[in-house]
Amino acid sequence: MAQLSPQLAAALRGERPLLFGSVEINLPGHDLLLLDGAGELMVGNRKFVGRDPVYGVLNSIKGLADSMGDSAPAVTLGLLPSGDAALAKLVDPAVQGSPVTIAIGCIDIATGLAVPNPYVLFAGELDVPTITWGANSRRLDYRFGSVAERLFAVDEGRALSNAFHQHVWPGELGLEFVTGVEEWVPWGQKLDMTAIQTRSNLPGLGSTRKRT
């Protein structure tokens, strides 16, 4: 787990530390830098704002907590888009997978600047958008998962394909003429029993099955 920078740790030990929360979303062609309240704040050489003129404001952050388990954590970010054009850009499939960083920091009251190195609470990727309509409101709830979700990705299909095999080992033709590798037949279709099955963890598989 990341540690607090010495400057931030010293500021938090002060009598009246002034905290702020920030959200950074690296959209294609635009970095959305939002604060959890009104105003503007320089964090390093980047300006975070309470209202982005193009995309709107931050409304809520849900699901941010320490936890342990066998699933990657997920957080829901609520945004209030500034208009229909902003909403359309935020739900565009091209933004899926854009990096998201949530951090907390402290403001130096004397200078009005952020104390160096805010503490990163969560780093993830945009995943599923949900639009909530009200009588006089419109909110975009964006679920984004932790970067740890990539650890659950299954690449078995790619590893067993000839194209991927030769991408890793150019000119190695070990999979070029292999057919019938773990074929899944939809229910109701006749199964070709002449193909060689490659799995051996199920009874009856791994044999030629009527092949002559």
Instruction: Give tens-digit pLDDT for 140-172.
Output: 998 888 776 666 665 554 556 677 778 888 998
Residue 33 has pLDDT above 90, yes or no: yes
Query: How far are the Cα atoms of 91, 161, 176, 185, 190 from residue 179, in angstroms, in the given order?
Result: 40, 10, 9, 14, 18
pLDDT reported for residue 104: 92
The pTM of the full predicted model, rounded to 2 decimals, is 0.65
Q: What is the mean pLDDT of residues 15-36?
A: 90
Domains of the chain: 6-152 (2.40.30)
- Which neighbouring-strand residues pair with 139? 132
Q: Looking at this protein, which amino acid is placed at residue 150? A: R
pLDDT reported for residue 66: 65
Alpha helices in the chain (DSSP H): 6-12, 84-90, 156-159, 162-168
